[in-house]
């Protein structure tokens, strides 16, 4: 099957230029399926796009080109890339808010495919604070915005608002299409969140970890076409659709789940904050308070080291949360745990890591390569990290 681009055309004067974009995408081997918003259909007709693409065009949420099949789900699943071209301020607002008011926005809600936005509108609308905030929200979730150009727009005013060139839009789709296939056929095992080591039925030892980085890695790997086993300690997050979620509590349980999951895996990523120690014995009843007490702890198994021992050829990527001497700490862990690479988080910074929604990482590879993954949303950091790892693995 050809790679499908679901093209959302929204109501800007530039709607006619979506025809050239559709043709150029088809010349590049994509199948283009168009959805027109009601206002787009005031500028261009469904018949025009049907003739150009050779595919049914959807305008209404209840359109059903294949009888008995829900088109919004079928198209959402078939899409390799979603493209909004041109994207009006309203379409951007609806997509940023997660609402669905027509066929395209409904498909976008149901799809895991990456989204490209090509805005076209009056310069004041484009630079308005709500529009810029909406675009920032979409970028944080991984959408790529092909910036409009400066010039004279349809209403006669000057400024940034003209639809980007066909070449720039097609290039962005090609890049997203390449990325969303980078891990096709690969199985990735990801650990996430903290572990909990019981002391008694109501108390435990744990680590600071929200699990966000691991969950975003899972979402990014799925978007790149991988199948994902997400082995998660207790967190307050919803697993991304399509991930095979294995819930665990203790480090021992996490280790068992990982050793099973990696048997047919192509990559293991350890993003979990595993508790280093557990109680020698878990008290069967709640321990009564009676002055100072001593707790005897023993060291937990190192999950990544054991995975390396079980499958020495499996590439393993770890995380290191350091506050000082980052490079030494990272390199020591590569050697000690038999890693392919390690992602270093500077946890002394408050703006990134732990509970934050953003992160910045330095990726150290065993062969000495050092790559900075610039500060961005954890999802975008996950995409950049996986892209580099996949490239280094020659996938
Ligand atoms: O040794 P340290 O805990 O700093 O190493 C962090 C990396 O090792 C992380 O990738 C973490 O998921 C992994 N780890 C593990 N098992 C442990 C401790 C850490 O897999 N017992």
Residue range 18-56, pLDDT digits in tens: 999 999 999 999 999 999 999 999 999 999 999 999 999
Residue 181 belongs to some domain of the structure: no
Last residue of a domain, one of 176, 205, 239: 176
Cβ pair 273, 321 in contact under 8 A: yes
- What is the residue with the minimal CA distance to atom 4 of ligand 1? 320
- My answer on whether 49 and 148 are in the same domain is yes
pTM of the model: 0.91
- Confidence class for position 355, pLDDT limits 50, 70, 90: confident
- Å from CA of 213 to ligand 1 middle: 14
Ligand 1 atom closest to the Cα of residue 300 is 21
The pLDDT value recorded for residue 353 is 65
- My answer on whether 73 and 194 are in the same domain is no
- What is the residue with the minimal CA distance to atom 19 of ligand 1? 274
The pair phi, psi for residue 329, each rounded to 5°, is: -55, -45
- My answer on whether 283 and 211 are in the same domain is yes
- My answer on whether 197 and 86 are in the same domain is no
pLDDT digits (tens, 9 = 90+) for 170-222: 999 999 999 989 999 999 999 999 999 999 999 999 998 899 999 999 999 99
3-state SS of 295-322?
A: CCEEECCCHHHHHHHHCCCCCEEEEEEE
Residue 351 has pLDDT above 80, yes or no: no
Residue 1 has pLDDT above 60, yes or no: no
pLDDT digits (tens, 9 = 90+) for 367-380: 999 999 999 999 99
Last residue of a domain, one of 176, 205, 227: 176
- Å from CA of 191 to ligand 1 middle: 10
CA separation, residue 186 to residues 76, 147, 183, 225, 227 (Å): 21, 33, 5, 8, 6
Q: Is 333 in the pocket of ligand 1 (CB under 6 A)?
A: yes
Q: Which domain holds residue 325?
A: 187-392
């Amino acid at each position: 099957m050809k790679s499908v681009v679901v093209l959302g055309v929204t109501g800007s004067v530039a709607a006619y230029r979506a025809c050239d974009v559709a043709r150029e995408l088809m010349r590049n081997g994509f199948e283009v399926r168009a959805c027109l918003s009601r206002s787009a259909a005031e500028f261009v007709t469904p018949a025009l796009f049907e003739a150009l693409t050779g595919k049914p065009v959807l305008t209404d949420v209840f359109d059903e080109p294949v009888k008995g099949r829900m088109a919004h789900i079928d198209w959402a699943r078939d899409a390799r890339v979603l493209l909004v071209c041109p994207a009006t301020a309203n379409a951007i607002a609806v997509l940023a808010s997660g609402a669905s008011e027509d066929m395209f926005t409904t498909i976008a809600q149901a799809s895991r495919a990456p989204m490209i936005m090509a805005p076209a509108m009056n310069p004041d609308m484009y630079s308005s604070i709500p529009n810029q905030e909406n675009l920032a929200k979409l970028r944080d979730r991984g959408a790529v915005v092909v910036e409009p150009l400066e010039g004279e727009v349809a209403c006669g005013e000057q400024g940034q608002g003209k639809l980007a060139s066909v070449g720039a839009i097609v290039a962005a789709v090609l890049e997203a299409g390449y990325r969303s296939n980078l891990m096709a056929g690969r199985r990735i095992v990801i650990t996430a969140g903290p572990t909990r080591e019981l002391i008694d039925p109501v108390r435990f030892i744990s680590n600071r970890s929200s699990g966000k980085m691991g969950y975003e890695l899972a979402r990014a790997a799925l978007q790149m076409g991988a199948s994902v086993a997400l082995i998660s300690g207790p967190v307050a997050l919803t697993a991304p659709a399509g991930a095979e979620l294995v819930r665990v509590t203790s480090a021992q349980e996490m280790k068992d789940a990982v050793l099973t999951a990696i048997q047919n895996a192509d990559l293991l990523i350890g993003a979990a904050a595993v508790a280093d120690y557990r109680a020698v014995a878990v008290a069967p009843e709640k321990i009564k308070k009676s002055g100072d007490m001593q707790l005897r702890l023993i060291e937990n198994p190192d999950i990544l080291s054991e995975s390396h021992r079980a499958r020495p050829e499996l590439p393993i990527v770890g995380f290191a949360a350091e506050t000082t001497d980052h490079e030494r700490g990272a390199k020591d862990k590569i050697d000690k745990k038999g890693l392919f690479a390690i992602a270093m988080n500077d946890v002394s910074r408050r703006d990134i890591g732990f509970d934050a929604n953003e992160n910045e990482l330095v990726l150290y590879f065993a062969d000495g390569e050092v790559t900075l993954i610039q500060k961005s949303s954890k999802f975008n950091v996950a995409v950049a990290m996986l892209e580099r790892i996949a490239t280094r693995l020659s996938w």
